[in-house]
Amino acid sequence: MSTSSLEEIRRAKLVAIIRSHSLEGLENTVRSLYKGGIRAIEITMNTPGALSGIERLKENFPELLIGAGTVLDSETARLAIMSGAGFLLTPTLKKETIEISNRYHVPIIPGVMTPTEVLTAYEYGAKMVKIFPIRQLGHKYLTDLKGPLPFVETMAVGGISLENAGLYLKSGASALGIGSALVDEKLVQQGDFTEIERRAASFVEIVSQQ
């Protein structure tokens, strides 16, 4: 599972980050993202009913890669894995969380910022790292990282938009994690799933041009 999930993320290059207040809104959002071409979804663990949401989405959207985000510790990681999460994302670096994920052969993409954290995460067993929040660093930071650390794959998260997505990919990001620029909670509350689908298609179009 680990290799195939990472391969799917590399191929898709886009991971939609979803925080929803209801399972109904979650399902409608995922359906719109799928119609727009998104194939990898991250459900944050601070979403109410996140674990049951992951189980339900895997059942209703078997063709999608469903993962868990905002995983803060090894206990949460194990619960997410038991619920069927195909990958895990964390906002911070914690050795125990990486170890539990590797034990179950589920890829984990830990949140890091500095070169030291990037290398440490790699040495702990992470195959890809999440540079977060990338908005504070800019796309050229990825190019700089690739100098001394060309063997570590990166996912850029935090502030990715339609205007800068291409720049991050050209600068070396293997994938992008996209939150509010793709899934705005206001759109979900308003039931404007057509706009979410349109945004998804726009991001997919940008990736196809890289």
Whose structure tokens read 């990681």? 77
Q: How confident is the model at residue 1 (pLDDT cuts 50, 70, 90)?
A: very low
Percent of the chain scoring above 70 in pLDDT:
99
108 torsion bin: left (phi>0), alpha (psi -120 to 50), beta (else): beta
pLDDT above 90 (res 19): no
The string of pLDDT tens digits covering residues 96-150 is 999 999 999 999 999 999 999 999 999 999 999 999 999 999 999 999 999 999 9
Judge whether 129 and 109 are in contact, CB under 8 Å: yes
Catalytic residue list: 42, 130
Question: Structure tokens of 79?
Answer: 């619960």
Indicate the residue type of 210. Q
Judge whether 17 and 50 are in contact, CB under 8 Å: no
Domains of the chain in start order, with CATH, are: 2-208 (3.20.20.70)
The string of pLDDT tens digits covering residues 38-76 is 999 999 999 989 999 999 999 999 999 999 999 999 999
pLDDT above 50 (res 8): yes
pTM for this model (two decimals)? 0.95
Q: C-alpha angle 85/172/156, rounded to 5°? A: 45
pLDDT above 60 (res 3): no
Whose structure tokens read 């850029």? 156
Q: Report the first-to-last Cα separation within the chain, whole angstroms.
A: 27
How far out from the chain centre does Cα 33 lie? Answer: 14
